[in-house]
Structure 1
Amino acid sequence: MPQRDYQIFEIPDFTLQRGLTLPVAEVAYQTYGQLNADKSNVILYPTSYGAQHFDTEWLIGAGRVLDPTDWFIVIPNMFGNGLSSSPSTLPAPFGPDRPPLFTHWDNVHAQERLLREVFGVERIALAYGWSMGAQQSLHWGAIFPDRVDRICAICGTARTAPHNKLFLEGVRATLTGDPHWTGTHFSAHPVRGLRAMGRIYAGWAMSQTFYREELWRQAGYSSREDFILRAWEANFLRRDPHDLLASIETWLASDISDNPIHGGDLDRALGAITARTIMMPSATDLYFTPEDCRLHAAGMPNAEYRVMASDWGHRAGNPAQNPADEAILRKAVADLLYG
C-alpha cells in the first residue's frame, strides 16, 4: 500500500451544527512550508467541491499563488470529500444510506481546533479559498472575526444564491436519476449518473465564450468531447457518489449568518467580517455571479470587490491550465499579504 501524503486530526465526540454527534470526527490535512517562531505566517486553504487537497495543491510553490517559502500553508479537507469524515468513511449508524449533514460551521470549527490543538495557532494571516473553499474562508471571517487578518475569496459568496441552489438541485436530481439509486443510497457505482453529472457540470462551470472560442484547445484537448470526457466525466467517475451528494448538501446550506452568532441576519454577519478581504468573482462565472459577489462585498467593512476578466467561467478561480488567470490570483494574494 502506498504511504498516504496527509495527516489525520481526530476530534472525539464532535457535535455537528444540525445536532448529531460523531464519536470521532476526522479531518485530513496537509501542510506546506514551515511555521515560523511567532506562528504569524499561516495561510488556511480549504478544499472545494469534489476536490481533495492534492487536486488543488498545484498553486502552492515558489513563485506560485501561495508560496511556501515564507508562508506555512495548511489545506484541511472538507467534511464529505472522502478523506475527512464522509458518508463513504463513517461507520454505522451513519454511512452512505444515513449520512449526516455537514455545514461550513462544522468545517470551520474543526479547522479552528486543528490549528489550535496541533500547531498552537490562534490567528491566521490569510484565509484563501476558491468556490466552496471561498465559502469556508468567509465563514472564518464571520465566525472568528478576531482570528483572521485577511481573506481572499475567489469565485464564492457568503450565502448560496437561489439560482445557484437551482443548479445544485439539478445536479442532485441527475445523479440520483441513475438506475442504481435506491432512494437512500446507490447499490452500485452509478456510472450513468456520474457521466451525466459531469456533462451538466461542464456546461455550467465554463463560459459560453470558452466553448465558442474552443479554449479547451489551450488546455491540450483535441475536441470538445475530449474535454468533457477526460476533464469532467473522469473527475466525477473517480469519486464516491455519496460523498458528492453530501457535499452538494453542504453547498446548499452555506450561509455565514445561519448560526447562533448571527441568527440568520446576513447583513450582521457580513458586517462582522473585519478582515481585509478581496472578493474576486470571475466575470463569466455562472455559479457565483459577479452581482452576487458584489452585493456581499458591499456589506463587509474592509472588502474590495475585484472582478477577474476571464472567459474560463467558474474555473478561472482554479486555473491549473491557464497561466493568465493564475497571474491574476497571484497578484491578489500579493496585494493582500504585501500591499
Structure 2
Amino acid sequence: MDYEIFQLGDVALQHGATLRNAFLAYKTYGKLNADKSNVIVYPTWYSGQHPDNEWLIGEGMALDPSKYFIIVPNMLGNGLSSSPSNTPAPYDRARFPNITLYDNVMLQHRLVTEQFGISEIQLVVGWSMGAQQTNQWGSLFPDMVKRIAPFCGSAKTAPHNFVFLEGVKAALTSDAAWNNGWYDTPPNKGLRAVGRVYAGWGLSQPFYMQELWRTMGYSSLEDFLVAFWEGFFLPKDANNLLAMLWTWQNGDISDNPVFKGDFKKALGAIKSKAVVMPGAMDLYFPVADNEEEVRHMPNAVCRPIPGVWGHFAGGGANPVDTKFIDDNLKALLAS
C-alpha cells in the first residue's frame, strides 16, 4: 500500500446521509517544511487515483517534491477513499450516498488541517473533476489558498456536460449484469460500452483525423478503442463510477450552505491568484465556459491549452501539453 488513510469518523453529508467510519486515502510527496509554508494540494479526477496524478509531479517540474509538500487526496467514490466498493452495509454498493463537491473539499480541508496542522496552501491544482475541486477550494478557503490552477474543468457542470454523462450512465446501466448496482460479477459489457462512449468525447475530431493514437502506441483505430478505452474502464467498479458521476453531474461550487446557489458570488469569493487552463478543443469543458467564469473571478486569467488533444490535454499523455501546463504552474508559483 503506497498511501495513507485519514479516518474521518461519522460524517454528516450535505444531502442528509451519515457516512459512518468514513476515510480519505491520500499520498504525500516531498517533506513539509518547518513553517508549513510549502504545501500544494492536488485532488484526483473522475475514476482516477493518486498514481494517475504522478505525471505532473517530479524533480525540476513545478510540482517538485524537493521543494514542495504535495498532498494528493483521493476523491470519495474512487475506490480508495470511502466508496461503494469498500463501504460496509447498509450504505454499500447501490446504497452509497450522494457525495457533493462541497463534501469532498470540506473533508480534504480536515485532512490538511487536522492531520498536518497546515494553515496556508501555496497552490491547489487539478484536472477535470480535480479542477472542479480546485475551484471549490478557492471559493471556500480564499484566505488559506494563495493560488489555484484548474485545468480542463469548470466551476459548475454545464447542461451539455450533464447530457454527455447521461450517455455514459446509460451505457453502463443497460448491461443486465449491472442488476441495479447489486452485481456479483462486474457488468463488463457496460464497462466496455462506457469506454466506447467516452472515446468520442475525451479527444477531438482532429485528433482522430490525424491518427494521433499512433503516437500512444496503438496500431489501428479499433486497437485504440479496445486496448486503450475499453481497457481503461474494465478494471473499474461500476458503482464507484456511478457515484463519482453523480458528484460530477451535480458539480457546482455555489451549491452549498456558504453560497446558497449564488454562482457569481462563489466565483467572486475566489481571491486566490488563478490560472485557468481549458483544453482548446475540449468537447465537454469548453473554453467559453471558463472565460465566462474568469470574468467573475477577481484575480484570474484564462490560458487555453493549444492543440487537438481535447480533454486529454490534461491527462499527461501528450508531452507538449504537459510542458504547457507545467510552464504555467512554474510561473504561477513564482509570482
Candidates 119, 122, 140, aligned match of 2:119: 122
Candidates 239, 243, 247, aligned match of 1:246: 243
Greater shift, 278-287 or 218-227, is seen at: 218-227
Aligned partner of 2:85 in structure 1 is 88
Q: Partners in 1 of 2:62 and 2:152 — Cα distance?
A: 15
The Cα of 1:231 is off from its aligned counterpart by 1.6
The Cα of 1:178 is off from its aligned counterpart by 0.5
Aligned partner of 1:137 in structure 2 is 134
Aligned partner of 1:102 in structure 2 is 99
Candidates 268, 280, 300, aligned match of 2:297: 300
The Cα of 1:297 is off from its aligned counterpart by 1.0
- Deviating runs (4+, > 4 A) in structure 1? none
Q: Partners in 2 of 1:263 and 1:110 — Cα distance?
A: 19
> Equivalent residues in 2 for 1:208-287 (5 A)?
208-287=205-284
Say yes or no: does 1:328 pair with 2:324: yes
- The C-alpha deviation readout for 1:178-205, integer Å capped at 9, x for no partner, is 0112234334211110101001101100
Number of residue pairs the alignment of both structures matches: 335
The Cα of 1:235 is off from its aligned counterpart by 1.4
Say yes or no: does 1:204 pair with 2:201: yes
The Cα of 1:107 is off from its aligned counterpart by 0.7
- Matched-pair contact (CA < 8 Å) for 2:62–2:333: no
Say yes or no: does 1:182 pair with 2:200: no
The Cα of 1:228 is off from its aligned counterpart by 1.6
The Cα of 1:223 is off from its aligned counterpart by 1.3
Q: Partners in 1 of 2:18 and 2:65 — Cα distance?
A: 36
Q: Partners in 2 of 1:262 and 1:180 — Cα distance?
A: 41
Q: Partners in 2 of 1:265 and 1:293 — Cα distance?
A: 17
Q: Partners in 1 of 2:113 and 2:324 — Cα distance?
A: 32
Q: Partners in 2 of 1:146 and 1:8 — Cα distance?
A: 27
Letter paired with 2:235: R
- The C-alpha deviation readout for 1:46-104, integer Å capped at 9, x for no partner, is 00001111122122111235211111100000000000000001111111121100111
- Matched-pair contact (CA < 8 Å) for 1:65–1:326: no
Aligned partner of 1:33 in structure 2 is 30
SS of the residue 2:199 aligns to: helix
Structure 1: gaps spanning 5 or more residues: none
The Cα of 1:333 is off from its aligned counterpart by 0.4
Greater shift, 66-75 or 184-193, is seen at: 184-193
SS of the residue 2:5 aligns to: strand
Aligned partner of 2:168 in structure 1 is 171
Letter paired with 2:22: A
- The C-alpha deviation readout for 1:305-325, integer Å capped at 9, x for no partner, is 111112101000112x31111
The Cα of 1:169 is off from its aligned counterpart by 0.9
- The C-alpha deviation readout for 1:100-136, integer Å capped at 9, x for no partner, is 0011111101111101111111121100000000000
Greater shift, 162-171 or 213-222, is seen at: 213-222
Say yes or no: does 1:60 pair with 2:57: yes
Say yes or no: does 1:147 pair with 2:144: yes
The Cα of 1:146 is off from its aligned counterpart by 1.1
- Matched-pair contact (CA < 8 Å) for 1:283–1:311: yes
Letter paired with 2:75: M
The Cα of 1:23 is off from its aligned counterpart by 1.7
Greater shift, 50-59 or 148-157, is seen at: 50-59
- Matched-pair contact (CA < 8 Å) for 1:104–1:136: yes
- Matched-pair contact (CA < 8 Å) for 1:65–1:329: no
- Matched-pair contact (CA < 8 Å) for 1:273–1:300: yes
Letter paired with 2:275: I
SS of the residue 2:10 aligns to: strand
Letter paired with 1:195: R
Structure 2: gaps spanning 5 or more residues: none
Greater shift, 219-228 or 272-281, is seen at: 219-228
Greater shift, 241-250 or 180-189, is seen at: 180-189
Q: Partners in 2 of 1:24 and 1:330 — Cα distance?
A: 37
SS of the residue 2:176 aligns to: coil
- Matched-pair contact (CA < 8 Å) for 2:124–2:145: yes
TM-score computed with the length of structure 1 as normaliser: 0.97
Q: Partners in 2 of 1:259 and 1:13 — Cα distance?
A: 20
SS of the residue 1:181 aligns to: helix
